[in-house]
Every structure is written in C-alpha cells, then in structure tokens.
Amino acid sequence: MLVRDAMSTVVLTIGPTHTLRQAARLMAARRVGAAVVLDTDADNLGILTERDILISVGTGQDPDLETAGTHTTTDVVFAAPSWTLEEAAEAMSHGGFRHLIVLDGTGPVGIVSVRDIIRCWAPVRRHQTTLVS
C-alpha cells in the first residue's frame, strides 16, 4: 500500500505569524494533528504539530503571544505519494516524528500520520491472522 492511499488530503496550511492558540483552534476544528506552516517571505515550508503546541504551553509560554513560526519544525522529511507505507513508517521511526508532509511537483498534497498507517495496516493484519487460524 502506498502513502497516497493512506494520507489525509485535508492539509491545514497556516502562516508563521499565526499564534499557537489560532493554530490549535484551526487544528481542532479540522480534527488534524499537524499544520503545514508556509512562510512565503522565506520560501520555506515546515510543520507545526499538536506536540509542539503542548510543549510550549507546558513550559508556561503564552499561546496568545507565541507564534507558529517560532515553534515550526523546518528540518522536515517529506514523503512522496508513491512511497510505500513501510518507507513512511521507517522515516517516522528513524526521525522520531508522527507526521510526514506529502509533496508532489506542485507542493503539499497531503499529510500521512502514524494513525493513518495503522488504520491501513490493521485490517490487513486482522485478515492475515484469520487466514492463519
């Protein structure tokens, strides 16, 4: 199975000047765990995750003053829609993260998460277990 089969095509894109509270509200409203942060001035693409927001709030920072740009991961590993789920899972495991931005030639087309991969693999494993029993 490929990344394109598992990825969410709901890509929340925000700017680096969004506050963490604004980002959290948008992420919650769309029920996503990550947002693509697009800084058109710097021609840069990064990711802000729920974990980034949690760490900031947990250390006492004000989510109304902290911006997405300050907490964005810019050293991002990107996936291609044609990657296998095994390749995506390996990249996540190796990098210690739970989301990959999926890029094609035109830019971000999706996000694949650990949850997406598990959702795809679980029925396959259940089927394989049934065949063995």
pLDDT, tens digit, for every residue of 44-88?
899 999 999 999 999 999 999 999 999 999 999 999 999 999 999
Q: Which pLDDT band, with edges at 50, 70 and 90, does 128 fall under?
A: low
Residue 132 tokens, joined: 């063995």
Output the average pLDDT for the chain. Answer: 91
Output b/e per residue, 16-38; b: 16+ Cβ within 10 A.
bebbbebbbebbeeeebbbbbbb
- CA 114 to chain centroid, in Å, comes to 9
Which residues, 6 or more positions from 5, have their beta carbon under 8 angstroms from its beta carbon?
85, 120
CB 48 within 8 A of CB 63: no
User: Which pLDDT score is estimated for 40?
Assistant: 83
Burial class (CB in 10 A: 0-12, 13-18, 19+), 112: buried
Q: Which amino acid is at 1?
A: M
Report yes or no: 26 and 9 within 8 Å, Cβ to Cβ. Answer: no
* pLDDT tens profile 117-126: 999 998 755 5
Residues 3 and 81: beta-carbon distance below 8 Å: yes
pLDDT at residue 3 greater than cutoff 90: yes
Q: What is the pLDDT of residue 10?
A: 83
pLDDT at 106: 80
- The two tokens of residue 96 are 């210690």
**Biggest CA-to-CA distance, the chain:** 58
